[in-house]
């Protein structure tokens, strides 16, 4: 098994002033370094008297406690992060002068934060929502932040509407409900009256909105950026992170139950995977469009509500990111990390995407209020690994102690240092794009098509995925109290697919639309999760075990699990040790009361020769729930009793055996497929 490195290139390079390792055997002091003789009692006038104002130690300790919480992020508040490194597969010097992409094999430390968008810090993680996927590259030329999502499009085309979107998505202001959910009137009222959101809403109603794991979702930069090479030549670029485990999701019923059983499900999954050495990996892909080809597509390449279909603009895989170290302190790292799409390096520049242009202002403005002023870049998690010098001074939380009398440019007293650097010597210079036109509040007509790509997304889905989308619309709109909003939305999505909108209308009790738009039957197979990578690696199996189990056959299965990188937990009625039929001992990891079938990717029923009524009832529940969620089920020997007289037998993904000769391989294959959508489930 891989070891979890406690000191890697990232942490080693970043032992900066103020970055402390865990104290061990140190004297207790105040924050000013004064050694403390008593930390148990406040200073009083007599042992039963009032506390004295002069107790500076009490005041320092309490003041720090009173101010430990900073404002949470308005969006992306619920997040979890990890350290890692990015390795370039090849040189992209012909496209960009960005140093971290300029050399085959070059490694760059990274920090990645995953998040939900809508909910507060205390909300559940398996809600229907987009997921943030933000990456900070600590390059030799400065920090580069690729701030994206697990969906390649967004709700709006212009950043001026972002406050409106978030206000509509957040809990409604009159009663502060619902939390971490879009299933309410104001959100769907926004959708119906801002129809540019159609494509993003299709993604949001799809399985992509309830990922199985942060490790099993892709990431996207969303916007068109520019690559600039040494010759000053520009290309438009979109960034894509591709999970090496593929893109996999929960089913909606399962997601809701997990939110109650384990609201930390996704972060725990990431944390435990890294601790076990199952380091998450994502390959970086770029899509490139030459400047002269900007207008040759049937969509505007600068429109953030549109994808660049892979079939038209292929993805070139250029490197791999590996997350190999968990944070040491959640607050100091995950909560204080500050991302900004304007943190770029030479060779990466912006496009005129109006959503991106607004984000270039908004992110810095946000960090100023969250992190207490303009010096958030000096926090250890945000500090570059390269030196930084400028004439900026003072402000809240200033950590650098600048020497000398000069804090301005130009100057002679300090020989005009620090001095600007020419572009030839690595100084950043914006791409010299010719820009002209009248000052207007307007949007290009090329942004007007709101439904073609939404229809392409629908047309690209498999039958199970389309059914899930219909159910998602029906649930979300069914939560809206205003019938007029339900009606507006189904009428809107008749422009995507008439039959889909009619089915949703029937489910939510509104009059179905009778006509819709006539759009080309365009598809993009890459959009369907049925075309993703599948592997049994890192899947988690719950094993139902009772005393005197067949330990010989279980040992064979567990050895195969280890070989294929499958993890398991032993589940029984009580904690402790179980003995098998020949004396093999197995430690029980969880009981029926401490875990639940929704927390596993598959269930393996082994049982034992004698089980009581409670065990039999719980075992039947585990198998039934896994079956209803289309998960793999394995059953051998006494474990098959749970399937007797059941319609589950001989169903896809249900593997049983008295003879173990072919069972293990068949069960591993069922685990690899993840879900068995052709199963007959009521």
Catalytic residue positions, numbered: 76, 149
Question: Shortest CA distance to 214 belongs to which of 241, 254, 238?
Answer: 241
Q: How far apart are CA 527 and CA 309, in angstroms?
A: 9
> What phi and psi, each to the nearest 5 degrees, are found at residue 29?
-135, 170
Q: Sign of the CA dihedral 533, 534, 537, 540?
A: positive
Q: How far apart are CA 268 and CA 80, in angstroms?
A: 9
Q: How far apart are CA 89 and CA 104, in angstroms?
A: 5
Judging by DSSP bridges, how do beta strands 567-572 and 590-591 pair with one another? Answer: parallel
Residue written as token pair 């093999």: 584
Question: Shortest CA distance to 96 belongs to which of 268, 334, 345, 317?
Answer: 345
- CA 331-125-70 angle, to 5 degrees, is 30
- Residue 387: CB partners within 8 Å, gap ≥ 6? none
DSSP string covering 637-651: GGGGGGGTT-TTTT-
Q: How far apart are CA 269 and CA 114, in angstroms?
A: 12
> What phi and psi, each to the nearest 5 degrees, are found at residue 644?
-65, 145
Q: How far apart are CA 464 and CA 675, in angstroms?
A: 11
Q: Which two tokens stand for residue 537?
A: 């690696």
Residue written as token pair 């799809």: 206
For 563-581, letters b (16+ CB in 10 Å) and e give ebebbbebbbbeeeebebb
The answer to whether the beta carbons of residues 132 and 211 sit under 8 Å apart is: no
C-alpha 621 chain-centroid distance: 31
Classify residue 61 by burial, with Cβ atoms within 10 Å: 0-12, 13-18, 19+.
Answer: middle
The answer to whether the beta carbons of residues 306 and 252 sit under 8 Å apart is: no
- How many C-beta neighbours within 10 Å does residue 292 have? 7
Edge-to-edge order in the sheet of strand 654-657: 590-591, 567-572, 540-545, 602-607, 633-636, 654-657
Judging by DSSP bridges, how do beta strands 316-326 and 348-350 pair with one another? Answer: unpaired
> What phi and psi, each to the nearest 5 degrees, are found at residue 301?
-70, -10
The SS3 call for residue 67 is: coil
The SS3 call for residue 357 is: helix
Question: Shortest CA distance to 158 belongs to which of 123, 199, 197?
Answer: 197
- DSSP helix, strand, coil percent of the chain (3-state; round to 5): 30, 20, 50
The answer to whether the beta carbons of residues 538 and 270 sit under 8 Å apart is: no
């Amino acid at each position: 098994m891989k070891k979890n490195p406690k000191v890697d290139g990232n942490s080693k390079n970043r032992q900066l002033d103020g970055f402390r390792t865990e104290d061990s055997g140190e004297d207790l002091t105040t924050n000013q370094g004064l050694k403390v003789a008593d930390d148990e009692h406040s200073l009083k006038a007599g042992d039963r008297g009032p506390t004295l104002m002069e107790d500076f130690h009490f005041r320092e300790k309490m003041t720090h406690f009173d101010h430990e919480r900073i404002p949470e992020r308005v969006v992306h508040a619920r997040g979890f992060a990890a350290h890692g490194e990015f390795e370039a597969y090849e040189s992209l010097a012909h496209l960009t002068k960005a140093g971290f992409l300029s050399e085959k094999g070059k490694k760059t430390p990274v920090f990645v934060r995953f998040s939900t968008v809508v909910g507060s810090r205390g909300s559940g993680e398996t809600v229907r929502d987009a997921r943030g996927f933000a990456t900070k590259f600590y390059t030799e030329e400065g920090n580069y932040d690729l701030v994206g999502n697990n969906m390649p499009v967004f709700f709006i085309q212009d950043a001026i509407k972002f406050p409106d979107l978030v206000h509509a998505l957040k809990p409604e202001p009159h009663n502060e409900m619902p939390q971490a959910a879009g299933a309410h009137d104001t959100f769907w009222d926004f959708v119906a009256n801002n129809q540019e959101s159609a494509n993003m809403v299709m993604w949001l109603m799809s399985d992509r909105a309830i990922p199985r794991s942060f490790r099993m979702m892709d990431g996207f930069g969303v916007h068109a950026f520019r690559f600039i090479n040494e010759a000053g030549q520009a290309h438009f670029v979109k960034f894509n992170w591709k999970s090496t485990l593929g893109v996999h999701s929960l089913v909606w019923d399962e997601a809701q139950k997990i939110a109650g059983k384990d609201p930390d499900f996704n972060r725990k999954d990431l944390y435990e995977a890294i601790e076990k050495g199952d380091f998450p990996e994502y390959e970086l892909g770029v899509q490139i469009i030459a400047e002269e080809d900007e207008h040759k597509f049937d969509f505007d390449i600068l429109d953030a509500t549109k994808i660049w279909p892979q079939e038209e603009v292929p993805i070139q895989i250029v490197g791999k990111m590996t997350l190999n170290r968990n944070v040491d302190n959640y607050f100091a790292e995950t909560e204080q990390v500050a991302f900004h799409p304007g943190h770029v390096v030479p060779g990466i520049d912006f496009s005129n995407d109006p959503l991106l242009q607004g984000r270039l202002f908004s992110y810095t403005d946000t960090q100023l209020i969250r992190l207490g002023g303009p010096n958030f870049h000096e926090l250890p998690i945000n500090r570059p690994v390269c030196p930084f010098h400028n004439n900026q001074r003072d402000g809240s939380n200033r950590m650098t102690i600048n020497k000398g009398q000069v804090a301005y440019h130009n100057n002679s007293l300090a020989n005009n240092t620090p001095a600007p650097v020419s572009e030839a010597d690595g100084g950043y210079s914006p791409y010299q794009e010719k820009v002209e036109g009248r000052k207007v509040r307007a949007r290009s007509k090329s942004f007007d098509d709101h439904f073609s790509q939404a229809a392409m997304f629908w047309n690209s889905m498999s039958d199970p995925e389309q059914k899930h989308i219909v159910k998602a619309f029906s649930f979300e709109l069914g939560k809206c109290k205003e019938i007029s909003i339900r009606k507006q939305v189904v009428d809107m999505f008749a422009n995507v697919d008439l039959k889909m909108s009619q089915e949703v209308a029937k489910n939510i009790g509104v009059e179905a639309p009778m006509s819709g738009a006539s759009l080309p039957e365009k598809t993009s197979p890459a959009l369907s999760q049925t075309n993703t990578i599948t592997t049994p690696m890192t899947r988690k199996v719950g094993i139902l075990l009772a005393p005197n189990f067949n330990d010989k056959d279980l040992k064979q299965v567990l050895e195969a699990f280890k070989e294929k990188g499958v993890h398991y937990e032993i589940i029984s009625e009580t904690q402790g040790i179980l003995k098998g039929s020949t004396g093999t001992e197995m430690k029980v990891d969880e009981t029926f009361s401490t875990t639940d079938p929704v927390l596993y990717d598959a269930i393996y029923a082994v049982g034992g020769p004698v089980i009581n009524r409670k065990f039999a009832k719980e075992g039947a529940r585990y198998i039934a729930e896994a079956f209803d969620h289309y998960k793999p089920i394995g059953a051998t020997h006494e474990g098959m009793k749970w399937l007797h007289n059941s319609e589950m037998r001989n169903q896809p993904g249900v593997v049983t055996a008295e003879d173990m000769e072919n069972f293990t391989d068949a069960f591993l294959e069922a685990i690899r497929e993840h879900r068995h959508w052709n199963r007959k489930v009521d």
